[in-house]
């Protein structure tokens, strides 16, 4: 099937082959959507009706917490249970986008050669904006492709990353003992987005302490959602310890989402976030195009010279962006 | 002076007292600007003409690299040289916003009681968007207040953080040996924004290795700007080692910026970024307001039910946002 996919396949061809299970068509469609090809966007609109089945799981936590290893192990566990898996890594420190320790690489190669798994790394730098929009588009394509579980791995620092994590049905926040700043990072607000907490590297000395600290924080935090108190799962991802329990917890969370009605509420909320991401992306692209023009460049130079102020220029830019559409 | 500042002081009062050196007026003005008080925004516009003198230094690097300790030590070194200092911490893991090890706390208290230093932590969570805009506003207020040096501390992960770091005149990227993911994070694009590289905790075993790795990466990277090759400075921030050399390097960078004409180019570029941040913030706030309405909520629910698609709804939202302005 794949061998016969022509180079100049239309987006409509790609979309129908994607629905028929062609991995190469999926990969090309992702690239076409990311590149903003209008015909691909049109197809994405049609594919949307075919989505909504996958369990979207966010995995977030600071660099060094072992998110990628955990994500890999989760994927292997899901595969062992006969589920197909998509992985979207939105993490500049992710080994998916570069180096990893040898053991991880071997396991990742296992995943790479498994047709039941599809991985994609998102570029998090260079392009201003658009990350949230692109990530959510890729999640939808993996969902339409028929993946049972789609995992989004993000660094839990930065607004875009938190936004992306919030778009998941179930969000895992990963911490590790003795990272020093780690507990701070968790304190600073990320705890409230956790549906399941993981203490990874639970064989290290400080693990019990971290578990009890997290328990206290959960009690001090906002009241738990009716019927769901975020569990704390201890894992040693490098050894696969605790991963089966984690998969059980994720499944329980999905059951709770569906039985409580939260599944629909979360989908509506994530629709709102996605719409917002699309609109912001469009506005940012208009802005980029507009502000590269010579007229505006001259005004920025006059701000630099303190002849004008950025607030007044911003008002004019806002008028220009909202008037000359597209 | 401070004692006589009335609670209901107008933004114009705050602005004139700020220019006269009243710290409390500065703090209140920052809060008023962050809260989006229209009169405060109006005053910010006027204060802008009084800015442009401070050397704005970005300090960025992954959690655990010792950025906050380094920032504190830099501030003490600048103070010893008779320079006044502003610090803006945009870092959820920063001890300025919470816990820190005892030695750091003591040094920070030293800074807190020094009238030549003003510190502000930015909330990086909760509010959707607006972080870049608020941070740049606070930098301008500190500049107008007369600070010689304004340091912005950010976690070097996430688009907002990178954007903010780029708004500085001089950007320090901090790495530490043996952080594992650290070199990855640096590889993933942050190196290109570094004007000065710091290898902190240079007394650890892996420091020489990190220095030589960074040197190779700098050579492999894009061609250095004419006349400026980013130096690598080794520090042990907890002991203050290397901090004086770092301050020298920062001063050299400023001299280079001015003599090469890059100072003006960077200011124009940072004006562009600031204008863009203001516009995006305005659009986001319009979006938030708009999408909370019952009409749109019903449409998000219909997306959740797969009756509509987010791309079509986004077009309608875009039309609505750009038509009913402010």
CA-wise closest residue to B61 among A153, A61, A157? A157
Q: For residues A233 and A268, give the distance between their C-alpha atoms in angstroms, rounded to a whole number.
A: 28
Pair A37, A11: CB distance under 8 Å: yes
Task: Record the tokens describing residue A162, joined without a space.
Answer: 């938190």
pLDDT (average), residues B194-221: 88
What pLDDT, on a 0 to 100 scale, did the predictor assign at position B314?
Answer: 92
SS3 state of residue A88: strand
Task: Select the residue of B99, B131, B181 nearest A159 (Cβ to Cβ).
Answer: B131
Cβ(B193)–Cβ(B173) below 8 Å: yes
Cβ contacts of A162 on chain B, cutoff 8 Å:
125
Of the segments A231-245, B79-93, B269-283, which one has the largest average pLDDT value?
A231-245
| CB–CB contact A62 B128 (8 Å) | no
Q: What's the whole-number mean pLDDT along residues B146-157?
A: 85
Residue A168 near residue A149, CB atoms below 8 Å: no
Indicate which of A89, A155, A273, A276 best probes the interface with B, i.e. most B CBs within 10 Å of its own CB: A276
Chain A residues within 8 A of B161 when measuring between CB atoms: 157-158
Q: Answer positive or negative: Cα dihedral of A177, A180, A181, A185.
A: positive
> How far is Cα of residue A148 from the mean position of the Cα atoms in its chain?
16
Q: In the structure, what pLDDT confidence band is assigned to residue B54 with cuts at 50, 70 and 90?
A: very high
- Which residues 48-107 on chain B approach chain A with CB closer than 8 angstroms? 48-49, 51-52, 62-64, 92-95, 97-99
- Check B304 against A62: CB less than 8 A apart: no
Q: List the end-to-end C-alpha distance of chain A, in Å, as a whole number.
A: 38
β-pairing, A85-90 with B149-155? Answer: unpaired
Q: Of B187, B280, B297, which has the smallest distance from its Cβ to A284's Cβ?
A: B280
> What are the chain B neighbours of A51 within 8 Å (beta carbons)?
306
How many Å apart are CA B270 and CA B281, to the nearest integer? 16
Residues of chain A found within 8 Å of residue B98, distances taken between Cβ atoms: 184, 187-188
The answer to whether the CB of A273 falls within 8 A of the CB of B317 is no
Q: Rg of chain A over CA atoms, in angstroms?
A: 21
Mean pLDDT of B245-254: 97
> What is the distance between the alpha carbons of residues A64 and A176, in angstroms, rounded to a whole number?
8
Between chains, do B314 and A92 touch, taking CB under 8 Å as contact?
no
Q: How far does CA A214 lie from the centroid of its chain?
A: 24
What is the residue whose two structure tokens read 């996958």?
A: A54
pLDDT, one tens digit per residue, over B219-242 is 876 655 667 889 999 999 989 999
Q: What local confidence, expressed as pLDDT, does residue A225 receive?
A: 61
Give yes or no for A258 touching B (CB within 8 A): no
Which residues in chain B are contacts of A303 at CB distance < 8 A?
A: 267-268, 271, 274-275
Q: What ipTM was reported for this prediction? A: 0.77
Return the closest-CA partner of residue A237 out of A226, A245, A228, A229: A245
Q: What sign does the dihedral B86-B89-B94-B97 (CA atoms) show?
A: positive
Cβ–Cβ below 8 Å for A271 and B128: no
Q: Summarize the confidence of residues B242-264 as an average pLDDT.
A: 94
> In whole angstroms, what is the distance from residue B305 CA to residue B296 CA?
14
Put simply, whether B171 touches A (Cβ < 8 Å) is no
Nearest chain A residue to B98, by CA: A184
Cβ contact A263:B231 at 8 Å: no
Q: Judge whether A161 is closer than 8 Å to chain B, CB to CB.
A: yes
Nearest residue of A to residue B66 by CA position? Answer: A181
| Mean pLDDT, chain B, whole residue set | 82
Average pLDDT of B54-60?
A: 93
Locate B157 and state its tokens.
């992960």
Could you give the strand order of the β-sheet that contains A55-61, starting from the edge strand earlier in sequence? A117-121, A85-90, A149-155, A55-61, A170-175, A196-199, A232-234
Are A157 and B303 inside 8 Å of each other by CB? no
How far CA B116 is from CA of B106, B244, B250, in Å, comes to 17, 19, 19
Cβ contact B148:B84 at 8 Å: yes
H helices of chain A, in order, are: 11-19, 23-34, 38-47, 67-80, 102-112, 131-145, 159-166, 181-187, 207-220, 243-260, 262-291, 294-304, 310-323
Q: Return the closest-CA partner of residue B94 out of B125, B121, B133.
A: B121
Interface check for A239 against chain B (CB to CB < 8 A): the answer is no
**B289 and chain A: CB distance < 8 Å anywhere?**
no
Residues B153-176, mean pLDDT to the nearest whole number: 77
Query: Facing residues of B87 across strands?
Result: B119, B151
Contact: B158, A163; criterion CB under 8 Å: no
Question: Is B113 or B311 the better-scoring residue by pLDDT?
Answer: B311
3-state secondary structure of A266: helix
- Cβ neighbors of B240 (< 8 A, separation 6 or more) are B73, B76, B77
- Answer yes or no: is pLDDT of B19 > 60: yes
For chain A, list residues with pLDDT below 50.
1-2, 93-103, 125-129, 181-182, 185, 325-326
The rounded distance, in Å, linking the Cα atoms of B131 and B133 is 5
Confidence band, pLDDT 50/70/90 cuts, at residue B128 = very low
Note whether A66 and A237 are within 8 A (CB): yes
A303 at interface of B, judged by CB pairs closer than 8 A: yes
Asked if B37 is an interface residue toward chain A (Cβ–Cβ < 8 A), one would say: no
* Confidence band, pLDDT 50/70/90 cuts, at residue B123: low
Residue B4 reports pLDDT greater than 80 = no
Residue B213 in this model has a pLDDT that exceeds 50: yes
Q: Which of B160, B190, B310 sits opposite A271 (nearest CB)?
A: B310
């Amino acid at each position: 099937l794949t061998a016969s996919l022509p180079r100049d396949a239309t987006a409509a061809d790609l979309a129908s082959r994607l629905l028929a299970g062609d991995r190469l068509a999926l990969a090309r469609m992702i690239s076409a959507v990311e590149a903003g090809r209008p015909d691909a966007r049109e197809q994405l609109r049609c594919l949307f009706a075919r989505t909504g089945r996958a369990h979207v799981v966010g995995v977030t936590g600071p660099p060094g917490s072992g998110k990628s290893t955990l994500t890999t192990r989760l994927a292997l566990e899901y595969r062992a249970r006969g589920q197909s898996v998509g992985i979207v890594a939105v993490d500049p420190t992710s080994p998916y986008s570069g180096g990893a320790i040898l053991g991880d690489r071997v396991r990742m190669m296992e995943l790479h050669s498994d047709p039941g798994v599809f991985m994609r790394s998102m570029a998090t730098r260079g392009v201003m904006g658009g990350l949230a929009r692109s990530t959510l588009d890729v999640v939808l394509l993996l969902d339409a492709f028929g993946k049972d579980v789609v995992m989004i791995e993000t660094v839990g620092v930065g607004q875009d990353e938190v936004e992306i994590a919030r778009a998941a049905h179930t969000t895992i926040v990963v911490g590790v003992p003795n990272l020093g700043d780690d507990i701070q990072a968790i304190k600073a607000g990320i705890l409230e987005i956790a549906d399941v907490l993981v203490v990874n590297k639970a064989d290290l000395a400080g693990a019990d302490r971290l578990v009890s600290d997290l328990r206290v924080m959960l009690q001090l935090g906002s009241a738990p959602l009716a019927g769901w108190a975020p569990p704390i799962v201890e894992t040693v991802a490098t050894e696969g310890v605790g991963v089966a329990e984690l998969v059980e917890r994720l499944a329980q969370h999905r059951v709770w989402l569906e039985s409580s009605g939260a599944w629909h509420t979360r989908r509506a909320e994530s629709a709102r976030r996605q719409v917002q991401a699309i609109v912001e992306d469009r506005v940012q692209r208009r802005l980029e195009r507009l502000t590269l023009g010579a007229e505006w460049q001259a005004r920025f130079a006059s701000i630099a010279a303190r002849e004008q102020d950025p607030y007044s220029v911003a008002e004019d830019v806002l008028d220009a962006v909202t008037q000359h559409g597209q």
